[in-house]
Amino acid sequence: MINKYSYIRDIKVIDYDKDKVLIKRKKKYDINKIYKYLDDHNINNYLKPFKITDKELYFNYLNKKDLDNDEVAKHLIYALSDLQNKTTIYKEIDKDRLKEEYDDFNNRIKYLEEYYFTMQDIIENKVYPSPSEYLFIRNVSIIYSALNYSKHLVESWYKIMKNKKNERYVYAHGKCELSHFIISDNDYFISLEKAHLDRPTKDFIYFFKKNYEDTDMLSNFNLYQHRYHYKEEEYLYFLINITIPDKIDIYPSSLNKCIELTKFFDRLKLTSDFILKNEKDKKHYEKH
């Protein structure tokens, strides 16, 4: 007997007398290909529906274990490294695509430099800057440091890549973050609609950007590298993607905008600290 219906965002929850069923709208109609790929590679840490229709996916409801974010993150890293180790392949590098990516990085950096320099120039000519303008001017050097470091990373990465013939690919989750990982009777990745072949760095970049405030990211990365170690060019590519700052607007000046800017600069500082500490750890391990 059905006792009641409820919703968790866009997921329908059906309560029966003894259990619950989750019904999720089918967003990707070749989802069976994703499940087949995972099954063929003996991946058992993803949640598979017990029923699939043309429009919906049916899942058994799972009671999650009461763990904090750092504990969940550790399980996620084990599951991610297992997924990547079992699905690693090598693909020939498309040199034209590589050059396009190199140019895209440089064009993005150049655009951001011009954007932030213009903004700084306008503000510095004002007699009375607004609170958000003042906050920006006080911290703009952090942006320029990130952009300058990004230039160095891009050149180092491209120097290696243009002389290589092949690079690693893995089956990426596509939305790898704490909210898409459940620990119950087993560890499960959920929300696999965007799973696809990609560079190994894809998922940890996403995880870093989504959960950098929620867990000890340096410990997570060190554990991850013990289980799936990046090649030098992969490590540089990872750093590029977490270092290049986003474009942010500082207007209209308001309390909410100042909060947004503070979080933006905190993210840049945290990323810089992460890189510095990780480089220090790398040198320590290399010596010993």
Instruction: List the beta bridge partners of residue 24.
Output: 57
The C-alpha angle with vertex 79 and arms to 92 and 153, in degrees rounded to 5, equals: 45
Please list the alpha-helical segments (H only) found in 47-130: 69-87, 95-124
Report how far apart, in Å, the C-alpha atoms of 121 and of each of 96, 113, 127, 138, 277 are: 37, 12, 13, 13, 33
User: Mind listing the pLDDT tens digit for each residue in 239-257?
Assistant: 999 999 999 999 999 999 9
CB-based contacts of 205: which residues, under 8 Å, 6+ apart? 238, 241, 242
CA 128 to chain centre: 39
State the average pLDDT for the chain.
93
How is residue 142 written in tokens?
Answer: 């952090």
* Mean pLDDT along residues 268-287: 83
pLDDT digits (tens, 9 = 90+) for 209-241: 999 999 999 999 999 999 999 999 999 999 999
State how far the alpha carbon of 7 is from the alpha carbons of 12, 13, 14, 15, 69, in Å.
Answer: 5, 6, 9, 11, 24
Using the structure block, give the residue that is written with the tokens 């609170």.
Answer: 131
The predicted pLDDT at position 19 comes to 80
Given the structure tokens 């800057």, which residue do they identify? 129
Q: Name the residue with tokens 């017990």.
A: 50
What is the reported pTM?
Answer: 0.92
What structural domains and CATH numbers belong to the chain?
Answer: 2-64 (no CATH), 86-276 (3.90.1200)
Tokens 């259990």, located at residue: 19
